Amino acid sequence: MAPTETHQFPPPKVLTYHHHQSSSSSPPPTLITQGAEGRLYKTTHLTRDRPCALKYRPPKPYRHPVLDARLTKARLASEAKVLERCRREGVSVPAVYAVDPAAGWMMMEWIEGVPVRVRINAWLGERCGEEDGEEGEEMDETPLVDLMKRVGEAVGALHRTGVVHGDLTTSNMMLRPPPPPPGQVNGREEEDNKAKVLEGEVVLIDFGLATQSMSDEDRAVDLYVLERAFASTHPRAERLFASVLASYRDAFKKASSVLVKLEDVRMRGRKRSMLG
């Protein structure tokens, strides 16, 4: 098997050490996404049975090398620290396995499941087909409302610890399926699938733009970004966003003042006015 031929870009050096003995062969690293700042690979951490995500920030050729190295290091360090803080406080985020700031990579826990965005759209799409044009009066929205509540709780828990995410979207939230009950029967899985599509724990990911902040303003902007993203990604579920905010309100003491601030932010947009 040719291990790295599928890479569009040369992978970071850390992913180029291969064992040739059959005893230690494992799936080659795969490129999952390519963002503006970095790439995400799926690989394994130390042993074959530990899948992990490797975030790599390649050097930027247009930047001065010294400045580039410093920025890359600072950003990786900040992301790792935010993740540690969240994890210690009990917020569901990926654990950090290893960081090499000089080489520009960080290994993190691989979160099973799919982005919340995918599941919401799958659910909406399915309902749409069933109702067939009829304005779904009978449509049971309970599972979706329930998911909205879990999203609000997750964001609330994050803000409670003094972290703002900086890029909240339903793509940056994973829906991690609950662990299979011991002794489950394989055949039964399929028939329950429809009901289970929205089940699972909401895990926040991609803290590349996260900062530590307790201010109402920063928290409100975080919510505003999510609200806007939600409206454009899931226009048909827009009105359900109220459920996100409702459960957010109960997540911590200062949440209600954040929601007041959110009104202001909605009026003026994400950026603060330079005038007074």
Partner 1 sequence: MALEKLELKHVPPTYHVYGALFRDVANTDFLHKQLLSRNSEFEYAFIDASSVISRLHVLSAVYSAINVLLDGTLRTPNVHSEIVVSLNTNNNIADAYRRWGITPGKTKDLIVIKVIPPPQSPAQEQDETATTQQQQQQEAIWDHLRQHVQGIPAPLTDAELAQATDWPKVRKYYRLNGVPALDRLADERERRREMESLVVMGMALRGL
Binding segment toward partner 1, per CB under 8 A, in 76-84, 206-214, 217-225, 248-256: 76-84
Bridge partners for 43 per DSSP? 52
Q: Which is nearer to partner 1, 15 or 204 (CB)?
A: 15
How many residues contact partner 1, by CB under 8 A?
A: 38
Q: Applying CB under 8 A, does 44 fall inside the site for partner 1? A: yes
Task: From the candidates 167, 192, 206, 218, give the one annotated as an active-site residue.
Answer: 167
Selected range binding partner 1 among 80-88, 132-140, 142-150, 214-222, rule: CB under 8 A: 80-88
Shortest distance in whole angstroms from residue 168 CB to partner 1: 21
Distance between CA atoms of 31 and 8, rounded to whole angstroms?
A: 8
Q: CA-CA distances (angstroms) from residue 264 to 6, 219, 241, 257, 270? A: 48, 12, 18, 11, 10
82 is a contact residue toward partner 1 (CB under 8 A): no
Which residues are CB-neighbours of 98 under 8 A, at least 6 positions away? 45, 106, 107
Q: Identify which range of 94-102, 129-137, 216-224, 251-259 contacts partner 1 by CB under 8 A.
A: 94-102
Which secondary-structure segment (H or E) carries 154? helix 142-160
CA atoms of 18 and 16, how far apart (whole Å):
6
Minimum CB distance to partner 1 smaller for 129 or for 180: 180
Comparing C-alpha atoms, which of 96, 92, 79 is closest to residue 38?
A: 79
Q: What residues numbered 114-153 form the site for partner 1, per CB under 8 A?
A: none
Please report, for residues 176, 186, 200, 242, the alpha-carbon distance to residue 180 in angstroms, rounded to integers and kept in the order given.
Answer: 12, 10, 11, 31
Instruction: Using the structure block, give the residue that is written with the tokens 């003491």.
Output: 253
Give yes or no for residue 223 binding partner 1 (CB under 8 A).
no
Look up residue 82 and give its two tokens: 């935010």
- Of 103 and 240, which has the nearer Cβ to partner 1? 103
Question: Biggest alpha carbon distance in the chain?
Answer: 67
Kindly list the distances between the CA atom of residue 75 and the CA atoms of 71, 79, 84, in Å, as whole numbers in the listed order: 6, 6, 14
* Span from 14-22, 208-216, 245-253, 259-267 in contact with partner 1 (CB under 8 A): 14-22
Any contact of residue 102 with partner 1 (CB under 8 A)?
A: yes
Q: Is 146 a catalytic residue?
A: no
User: Is there binding between residue 40 and partner 1 (CB under 8 A)?
Assistant: no
User: Based on CB atoms, which residue is closest to partner 1, 24 or 215?
Assistant: 24
- Strand-pairing partners, residue 66, are none
27, 59, 90, 177: residue in contact with partner 1 (rule CB under 8 A): 90
Q: Identify which of 64, 63, 75 has the alpha carbon closest to the alpha carbon of residue 38.
A: 75
What is the contact surface with partner 1 in residues (CB under 8 A)?
14-15, 17-21, 23-24, 26, 43-48, 50, 76-77, 80-81, 83-84, 87-90, 95-103, 107, 109
Catalogue the active-site residues: 167
